[in-house]
């Protein structure tokens, strides 16, 4: 039993390590785009293998825990929630890599930029991620619910960004290529927010045993 | 024990139902784009709620199975593989919806089309999906390994499509908007292939107990 508690704690800590790494990758990838910072982009790409290692480590650790300790009730929910959060974090790491690659592509072109506020949209997504992980750490259903509410704001902002980028691209053929990179950056930020929403839903399921995926009406 | 075997079989069947639905959604979404078929697009959007229901059903069924039956060894691996495949299928359903929405967007514009072979790329992705699910059904490691090999072909094709779409967009500002829709369709097909790869990796892990995620060198 002692061992079991130790294993759960270890799983918890590894997830926090993973989310720390992923959040740092995201921050670097946004800087790479906004400040045209090649080193930041390269750091994200370097981080990737460590994130992938951690994902496999957490996943196989969870599986071993399920097999050897056969947890039930709240402990079982904790392990399965952890596996899901792990999966979401790994995908967020992939998205950061995609954004970093778009940054490198933009660096190979003249610095033409649509009039969009990437730091603001990135900040929204980053807040959602930080809050969803805080909700996980503190088992805080209220905070998790707040994350779900923020997702709409990101979607509205996304539409605004998209139409500004399209306008930018229509100004001149030379703006099409960078415009496409910016489109995929915006799409990446939107997907990061979606993954934060997934994590918040998993936390709610864990804390309350309530299924809130696919915007079920239980929320509110 | 009788009940346990029943539960495993039920889980297996639900996954097959889910993959059937998802494959049909994908086929409709591709038709919606290629044939400008509004009804096909609407069918995909209708399918979505059923797919989401099934995902939750499979997920909570798996969880219950873990809690009540506490499977070990190969059965435990089966249940966790099923949860992962389930997750991948649900995301593939989302991608089909995204493609269907791009089809509807394209229907609102004049029929301008880049010179790209969407049915060919879609066919590659659809084959990978069908093969990965066949590998699951037959526990066929060889077939799963073939899926992993096909992913490179999709990536090469993707690059070709992208550059043709960009060329198309550069021809006239009126082609930018449809071009963006086609870009995201191509991106969706690429991601479908990625998910098929994930499923094949899960099947290999299940059949052989070998971790092949993140292009480990064991493959070959």
A60-111 tens-digit pLDDT: 899 888 878 888 888 888 998 999 999 999 999 999 999 999 999 999 999 9
Nearest-by-Cβ selection for A176 from B76, B87, B169: B169
pLDDT (mean) for A116-122: 95
Q: Token pair 């908007």 is at which residue?
A: B177
State the CATH number of the domain containing residue B63: 1.20.58.220
Q: For residue B197, give the H/E element and its range.
A: helix B176-208
Nearest-by-Cβ selection for A170 from B55, B67, B173: B173
Domain span at residue A115? 2-208
B213 domain residue, yes or no? no
pLDDT in tens, B123-172: 999 999 999 999 999 999 999 999 999 989 998 999 999 999 999 999 99
pLDDT at B60 over 80: yes
Provide the domain count of chain A: 1
Name the residue among A94, A101, A106 with its Cα closest to residue A36: A106
Tell me if A176 and B183 make a contact (CB, 8 A cut-off). no
Instruction: Give residue B210's pLDDT band: very low, low, confident or very high (50, 70, 90).
Output: low
Name the residue among A19, A16, A22, A10 with its Cα closest to residue A62: A10
Grouping H, G, I as helix, E, B as strand and the rest as coil, residue B59 is helix
Tell me if A66 and B66 make a contact (CB, 8 A cut-off). yes
What is the rounded CA–CA span in Å between residue A190 and residue A218?
24
Mean residue pLDDT across chain A: 92
Looking at residue B220, its pLDDT comes to 33
Contact A137, A204 (CB under 8 A): no
A214 domain residue, yes or no? no
Contact B114, B123 (CB under 8 A): no
B73 domain residue, yes or no? yes
Mean residue pLDDT across chain B: 92
What is the rounded CA–CA span in Å between residue B21 and residue B4?
26
Tell me if A77 and B87 make a contact (CB, 8 A cut-off). no
B123 domain residue, yes or no? yes
pLDDT (mean) for A143-160: 93
A213 domain residue, yes or no? no
Numbers of helices and strands, H then E, in chain B:
6, 0
A120 domain residue, yes or no? yes
Percent of all residues in chain A with a pLDDT value above 90, rounded to a whole number: 79
Looking at residue A63, its pLDDT comes to 83
Name the residue among A66, A119, A211 with its Cα closest to residue B61: A211
What is the rounded CA–CA span in Å between residue A54 and residue A86?
9
Q: Select the more confidently predicted residue: A210 or B130.
A: B130
Contact B136, B199 (CB under 8 A): yes
Could you count the other beta carbons within 10 Å of the beta carbon of residue B1? 6
Q: Select the more confidently predicted residue: B29 or B205.
A: B29
pLDDT (mean) for A46-53: 95
Looking at residue A177, its pLDDT comes to 95
Tell me if A214 and B52 make a contact (CB, 8 A cut-off). yes
pLDDT in tens, B64-123: 888 788 888 888 889 989 999 999 999 999 999 999 999 999 999 999 999 999 999 999
Q: Select the more confidently predicted residue: B208 or A131.
A: A131
pLDDT in tens, B164-199: 999 999 999 999 999 999 999 999 999 999 999 999
Tell me if B56 and A173 make a contact (CB, 8 A cut-off). no
What is the rounded CA–CA span in Å between residue B40 and residue B71?
42
What is the rounded CA–CA span in Å between residue A104 and residue A106?
5
What is the rounded CA–CA span in Å between residue A158 and residue A130?
20
When scoring B92, B176, B177, B182 by the number of chain A Cβ atoms within 10 A, the one with the most, hence best to mutate, is: B176
What is the rounded CA–CA span in Å between residue A157 and residue A176?
21
Q: What is the ipTM of this complex?
A: 0.86
What is the rounded CA–CA span in Å between residue B219 and residue A82?
28
List C-alpha distances in Å: A78 to A47, B19, B85, B162, B177: 27, 28, 20, 42, 45
What is the rounded CA–CA span in Å between residue B63 and residue B76?
11
Could you count the other beta carbons within 10 Å of the beta carbon of residue B209? 10
Eight-state DSSP code of residue B175: G
Looking at residue B217, its pLDDT comes to 40
Instruction: Give residue B17's pLDDT band: very low, low, confident or very high (50, 70, 90).
Output: very high
Chain B residues contacting A, CB < 8 Å?
49, 52, 55-56, 60, 63, 66-67, 70, 72-73, 76-77, 80, 83-84, 87, 166, 169-170, 173, 176-177, 180, 183-184, 187, 211, 213-214
Contact A183, A162 (CB under 8 A): yes
Instruction: Give residue B212's pLDDT band: very low, low, confident or very high (50, 70, 90).
Output: low
Contact B76, A63 (CB under 8 A): yes
Contact B120, B196 (CB under 8 A): no
pLDDT at B51 over 90: yes
When scoring A69, A214, A217 by the number of chain B Cβ atoms within 10 A, the one with the most, hence best to mutate, is: A214
Q: What is the dihedral of CA B54, B56, B62, B64, to 10 degrees?
A: -120
B214 domain residue, yes or no? no
With a CB cutoff of 8 Å and minimum separation 6, the contacts of B204 are B141, B144, B145, B148, B210, B212
Sign of CA dihedral B177, B95, A86, A43: negative
Q: What is the DSSP string of A61-107?
A: HHHHHHHHH---HHHHHHHHHHHHHHHHHHHHHHHHHHHHHHHHHHH
pTM (global) more than 0.80: yes
Looking at residue B20, its pLDDT comes to 97
B126 domain residue, yes or no? yes
E runs forming strands in chain B: none
Looking at residue A220, its pLDDT comes to 33
What is the rounded CA–CA span in Å between residue A156 and residue A193?
12
pLDDT (mean) for B46-67: 91
Q: How many CA atoms lie within 13 A of A118 on its CB side?
A: 25
With a CB cutoff of 8 Å and minimum separation 6, the contacts of B216 are none
Numbers of helices and strands, H then E, in chain A:
6, 0
Q: Which residues of B touch A67 (CB under 8 A)?
A: 72-73, 76
With a CB cutoff of 8 Å and minimum separation 6, the contacts of B87 are A84, A87, B55, B59
């Amino acid at each position: 039993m002692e061992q079991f508690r130790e294993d759960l704690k270890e799983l918890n800590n590894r997830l926090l390590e993973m989310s720390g790494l992923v959040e740092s990758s995201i921050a670097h990838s946004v800087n790479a785009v906004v400040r045209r910072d090649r080193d930041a982009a390269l750091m994200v790409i370097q981080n990737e293998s460590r994130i992938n290692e951690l994902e496999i480590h957490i996943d196989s650790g969870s599986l071993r825990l399920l097999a050897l300790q056969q947890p039930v009730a709240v402990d079982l929910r904790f392990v399965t929630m952890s596996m899901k959060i792990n999966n979401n974090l790994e995908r967020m790491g992939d998205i950061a890599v995609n954004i970093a690659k778009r940054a490198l592509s933009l660096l190979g072109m003249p610095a033409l930029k649509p009039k969009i506020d990437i730091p603001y949209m990135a900040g929204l997504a980053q807040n959602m991620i930080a809050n969803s992980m805080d909700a996980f750490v503190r088992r805080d259903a209220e905070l998790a619910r707040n994350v779900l509410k923020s997702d709409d704001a990101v979607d509205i902002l996304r539409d605004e960004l998209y139409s500004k980028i399209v306008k930018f691209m229509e100004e001149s053929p030379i703006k099409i290529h960078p415009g496409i990179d910016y489109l995929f950056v915006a799409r990446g930020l939107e997907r990061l927010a979606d993954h934060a929403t997934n994590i918040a839903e998993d936390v709610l399921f864990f804390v309350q045993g309530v299924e809130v995926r696919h915007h079920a009406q239980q929320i509110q």
